[in-house]
Structure 1
Amino acid sequence: MTEKNYWVRASTYVTLQRLAIFVFGFGSYFFMVRYFSKDTFGVWTLFVVITSIVEMSRSAFIQNAFVKFYSQPNIDRFSLTTASITLNFISTLVFIALMLGLIPVLTIFWHTKEIMGLILWYCSTSLILVPLTQLNYLEQANQSFRGVFWSAVVRQGFFFSVVVICFLWVPNMSLNFFAAMQSVGGIAGLVTAWILSKQFAPRRLATDRAMVRNLFKFGKYILGTGVASTIGKNADQILLGSISHSSVALYNAAVRVMNFVEIPTLSISNIVYPKIAERANLEGKEAAGRLYEKSVATIVGIILPVIVGILVLPQIVLLITAGKAYLEAAPILRIMATASVLIPFNVQVGSAFEVIGKPHVSFYINISANVVNLVVNILLIPRLGIMGAVWAMLITNVFIFVVSQVLLRREMGVSLLRTGVQLVEFYTTAPGHIRGFISRKK
């Protein structure tokens, strides 16, 4: 596949995947937030926080190490795949054990017994996700995204369909029912992934303990980074849950809106990661740094008009997304929108340090940032409530931005000035590219 074809095909599938996940996820939220009361939906939000921590942490542990090693020359891909599957399964069992052990603690801390049934259902979903995610990682490592896209569409689309049906015709279903439907959706996604990605599956499995150790050695820092990052990212909602479930629901209303901004951020990050790894291996750290600058400028250029719209009309955005009961979250949304300008810079930091063989750097950045975030949340939430959580989020993003840019400049020669130039170039060239695309379609 040529360089141009790779970017076109990859960007199409990954962007559509992120868009589909957002549409189905937001669609499910749109109906569920109106299906349940604020307090009940707050419990569901806390459950989603737990599942996000587990899925993102496990993905960071397995996916990035597998993709990086897979692209190296002379690698035994049978042994690599076997080692990745082994770590995927073991890490899932560890997370299940942790979740089961935390049930009594969370029941007391969040003042709800419903969380127990939700976690039990998610334990079964986690086991289903082991082969599903492994097929997705294998396909991504082969620079193909078709199966990843369709398995996500089927999995998320199934759950969305169930939510819509219940909203329209089946009232008073429990939270446990929807958690169970997530497991069913996972099975549907797994079947889809196997049909479309089985050609990438290894013809045989080869046990190699050294390969397992190498993957674990590389992935442990990324796992630590992933756990610290997701816990830190959700520490505000975790702590708000001890105050009131309705506070969590209000805060989450603003978070859901900002998830829209993350679509291009995460999509381009997934596309760029294999290319940054390849560029670092073939051309060195400086070349990888130039790709970092260009990708960040592109993401900022895409999301900036959306951010301006949110800053100007937060009430209208909330009225459309969450309903009249959530309009009081407008100040929260404004601050989140301001902080989101820094997200493209911060998201790419982990990938940049991983591909140059220094995953521990991003690990320490995230650990430090999450300590800052946790401390500020503990200090501000009891005094300011929801607004304390928002200010803590802004302070943490600024901290990550400042520290990471200093280290990126030292290690890879990354320049904010060049990134700014790339942003200006994006806006000057984008209209021409759009007109050319439209003319070709005509």
Structure 2
Amino acid sequence: MKKKKLLKLFENYWIKSSLLTIMQRFGMVLFGIGSYVILVRILSKESVGVWSLFLGISMTFELTKNALLKNGIITFYHSTEERNEILSSGLVINIIYSIIFVIIILFLGKMIAKYLNSPHLYIMLKIYIVGIFLLVYFSHFEYIQQSNLNFTGSFMSYTARQGIFFLLILMAFISGSNTNLNQLVFFQNISIFTSVIISFFYTRKYLNFIFNPKTILIKKIFNYGKYIFSSGVLSNIFGNLDRYMIAGLMNNTYVAYYDLSARINNMIDVPTSALADVLFPKSVIAERKEGIEKVRLLFEMTTAAIICVLIPVSILIMIFNRFIIKILAGNNYLLASNIVIISMLYAFLRPIQNQACNVLNSINKPHITFKINLVVLFLNILCDYLFIRSFGYIGAAIGSMVVTIIGANIATMALSRYAKVSIRSILSRSFTIYRNAILYKKLKIYEI
């Protein structure tokens, strides 16, 4: 009887998809941390800083493309019978966007590298062009899987991608070869190629190999995604702004400290990003079938659950931050201690803004998300500039903290116009979850 209940529990959408997505995110972060632990011991701080800038740019490409396409494809896939046409039209936009990014690299890459005081970055970006075209297939397969509420393929392909990259670095380290930044980009391209093949085998049951794009659907997906895309560009610049500002105003050695802090933050942000992937399709369906009240409940309960995890984890990281830094990067990176502490002070607020914007997108209000992210970006540029000038290398961390506090309140206020949510209500639900945990009461988020 207990076995049947357990099997039924793991067949639940929330449990199964959340576990797979969280394992996927944790796998990515853990392999990323493993790679980082090796790289900081074989590369100079300046090279680590340049690698961090490359990752920021390459991830901006991937995440903004997802912002332009994924939510729109998932939304229209569930609201029309023209499913093959939707996927084909999405693929056209995917290819065009990738070509545009390649053109930007070829014509503006040298100028970007010069501003960031990293001339070698331009060569790395040109090598990455191969990976950009491979990612057309990788992302398209992911959209198809998630449109069918299937997260297994994404888990396997992302894990393989990060795992193979880690193994290539580990093999180079063990063999004693002199690993350089160009080789790291080649390693990335190899790992992307392998993950595309794996993803194909999980996606082929949904494929009919008929390419039938329609101009009207291309416009429809683009018009839906343009605000989410613009928001994605802004939020990704916001996420990497501290490193870009430090590189432009100071030097790449300090970028290496922010890269270390970002990796720790990425690890604790796993529940947020995982639940965002799971929440969006569920929220789209809930808004259509059960109304905005259901969307409000989904948002508040999932965000409260994330906060309950982040608060104790953040406190532990603040207490043991120097020990964690020594394990990850060694004594040479202890100057990152203050940056890590400051980032942990507001870690529990980040998911409030992120989830609020994600829900606004799901209820077809992406233009609101765009405006929020635009305001937050301008505030962050201003605050980072002023605080870096005033406090040096930790100024960017202080600026990000101030802007995150403001951004969480702005995003929640915007969502409250449609779903009557509030930060107070979220924190109250978090307190209830803690209380129920202490009293051994069942948490019923998986029943939502």
Same fold (TM over 0.5): yes
Q: Percent identity?
A: 26
| Aligned mates of 2:41, 2:71 — CA distance in 1 | 37
Residue matched to 2:124: 118
CA offset at residue 106 of structure 1? 2.4
- The answer to which of 284-293 and 379-388 deviates more is 379-388
> Of 310, 323, 341, which residue of structure 2 is paired with 1:334?
341
Contact 2:353 2:409 in 1 (8 A): no
Residue matched to 2:358: 351
> Of 309, 319, 329, which residue of structure 1 is paired with 2:316?
309
Contact 2:89 2:214 in 1 (8 A): yes
1:62 counterpart = 2:69: yes
| Aligned mates of 1:326, 1:428 — CA distance in 2 | 39
Q: Report 1:255-266 matches (<5 A).
A: 255-266=262-273
Contact 2:40 2:48 in 1 (8 A): yes
Aligned Cα root-mean-square deviation (Å)? 1.9
| Aligned mates of 2:282, 2:274 — CA distance in 1 | 13
Residue matched to 2:97: 91
Secondary structure at 1:171 match in 2: coil
> Of 268, 281, 302, which residue of structure 2 is paired with 1:295?
302
**Gapped runs of 5+ residues in structure 1?**
436-442
Letter of the 1:182 counterpart = Q
Contact 1:99 1:119 in 2 (8 A): yes
| Aligned mates of 2:189, 2:384 — CA distance in 1 | 33
Residue matched to 1:169: 175
Contact 2:153 2:203 in 1 (8 A): yes
CA offset at residue 276 of structure 1? 0.9
| Aligned mates of 1:307, 1:236 — CA distance in 2 | 20
Q: Deviations 1:201-247 (Å, cap 9, x if unpaired)? A: 24522221111110000011011000011012211101211221110
CA offset at residue 378 of structure 1? 2.1
CA offset at residue 415 of structure 1? 2.8
Residue matched to 1:216: 222
**Gapped runs of 5+ residues in structure 2?**
1-6, 444-448
| Aligned mates of 1:187, 1:215 — CA distance in 2 | 27
Matched residue count? 435
Q: Report 1:191-340 matches (<5 A).
A: 191-242=197-248, 243-340=250-347
Q: Report 1:69-88 matches (<5 A).
A: 69-72=76-79, 74-88=80-94
Residue matched to 1:41: 48
Q: 1:339/1:421 Cα in 2 relative to 1: closer, same or farther (>3 Å)?
A: closer
| Aligned mates of 2:425, 2:121 — CA distance in 1 | 48
Residue matched to 2:3: none
Residue matched to 2:446: none
1:23 counterpart = 2:39: no
1:11 counterpart = 2:36: no
| Aligned mates of 2:410, 2:113 — CA distance in 1 | 37
TM-score by length of 1: 0.94
Q: Deviations 1:40-59 (Å, cap 9, x if unpaired)? A: 11111111111121111111
Residue matched to 2:193: 187
CA offset at residue 335 of structure 1? 0.6
TM-score by length of 2: 0.93
| Aligned mates of 1:162, 1:149 — CA distance in 2 | 20
Contact 1:257 1:321 in 2 (8 A): no
